[in-house]
Amino acid sequence: MLRNNRISVEAPVEMVHSNKVSVNNDEKQLTDLFSRSHMGLCGICIYLAVSLLAFHFREQSLIGILPSDIMDKLGAVPPVFMAVVLMWVSTISALTVIIGRLYHGTPPSGTTSHVAFRIGFFVLFFAIGGLGQYINEIFISGLVVLTLQHYNVYNYYMQKIEKKYIIPYKFHNEAL
């Protein structure tokens, strides 16, 4: 633009600055979406680490560690079959929720809650004395749930990345 025979460079600088801000925001959003897509994998890694710890202590139980007077104050321990039923109901419920979210394309539930529930079963079976007997079932059920959760999280955020960044870019390049 000409102003009093001078060229004004203010407008183009502002445009460049707004494009830089837009590019920085897009990069931050893309990085955020990409890091969220890997939260399920982080959950699996945490679960595997806790599983190794539980496997190491599989032959011990809370009943064997605590003195009898403290165990008397805590009360009777529930039977192992109740914990097994609770574990399978929780596993089927979690799988149903995750499959429903996959089918409908809704945002995934938090990986933290799934990891906490699966780790909680190691603690529960340790407390009632059935960890050594049911460690394989606990591990497999947790691994199946967390693997499907990882797929759900990864799939959801990768679809968001594709819709927001890849498809518009593809159409933009085809138009040129």
pLDDT digits 0-9 by tens, 1-11: 444 444 444 44
Mean pLDDT of 55-63: 88
Q: Which two tokens stand for residue 124?
A: 């529960």
Least confident of 98-102, 130-134, 138-142, 161-165: 161-165
| Whole-number average pLDDT of the chain | 81
pLDDT, tens only, 148-161: 999 998 988 888 88
In the chain, what's the furthest Cα-to-Cα distance? 96
Query: For the chain, what's the residue count?
Result: 176
Between these two residues, 23 and 161, which has the higher pLDDT value? 161
**Hey, what are 43's tokens?**
């959950």
Helix (H, G, I), strand (E, B) or coil at 10: helix
